Amino acid sequence: ACVYNSTIINTSKEMMCYSDCPIPDEFPNYMHNTKIMEYFGIYAKKFNLMKHINFNTSVLSCEQEEKGSGEVKVKIRNEKTKETSDFEFDAVLVCVGHHADPYYPLDAFPGIEKFKGEYFHSHEYRKPQGYEGKRVLIVGVGNSGGDIAVELSRQAKQLYWSTRRGCWVMNRVSDQGLPVDIINTTRITTLALKLLPISWINNIVEKQLNARFDHQMYGLKPKHRFTGQHPTINDDVPNQILSGRIIMVENVAKFTEHEVEFKDGRREEIDVVVFATGYRFRFPFLSDSILEVNGTESQLYKYMWPVGMTKHTLAVIGHVQVLGAVNPVSEMQSRWATRVFKGLATLPNDNKMLLDINRNKVSLQKRFYNSQRHTMEADHVAYMDEIADQIGVKPNMFSLFITDRKLARKVWYEFCSGYQYRLKGPGKWAGAREAIMGQKSRMFCPLHTRATTKSSKSK
Task: List the domain boundaries for the chain.
Answer: 54-100+281-391, 104-277
Amino acid at 50: M
Enumerate residues 6+ apart whose C-beta is below 8 A from 70: 64, 90, 91, 309, 310, 311, 312, 313
Residue 214: count other Cβ atoms within 10 Å of its Cβ: 12
3-state secondary structure of 19: coil
Longest dimension (CA), the chain: 81
Residue 381, phi then psi, degrees to nearest 5: -65, -45
Checking if the pLDDT of 434 tops 70, the result is yes
Kindly indicate the confidence band of residue 296, based on its pLDDT and cuts at 50, 70 and 90: low
Do residues 341 and 313 make contact, with C-beta atoms less than 8 angstroms apart? yes
Kindly indicate the confidence band of residue 456, based on its pLDDT and cuts at 50, 70 and 90: low
Checking if the pLDDT of 387 tops 60, the result is yes
CATH fold for the domain made of 104-277:
FAD/NAD(P)-binding domain (3.50.50)
Checking if the pLDDT of 458 tops 60, the result is no
3-state secondary structure of 274: strand
Kindly indicate the confidence band of residue 170, based on its pLDDT and cuts at 50, 70 and 90: very high
- Per DSSP, the chain holds a count of helices (H) and strands (E) of 14, 23
Mean pLDDT calculated for residue range 351-376: 85
Q: Which of 195, 257, 201, 259 is nearest to 225 (CA)?
A: 201
> In sequence order, what DSSP letters do the residues of 154-196 get, joined into one string?
TTSSEEEEE-SS---EE-SB-GGG-BHHHHHSBHHHHHHHHHS
CATH 1.10.274.10: does it fit domain 54-100+281-391?
Answer: no
Enumerate residues 6+ apart whose C-beta is below 8 A from 174: 180, 183, 184
Q: Do domains 54-100+281-391 and 104-277 have the same CATH topology?
A: yes
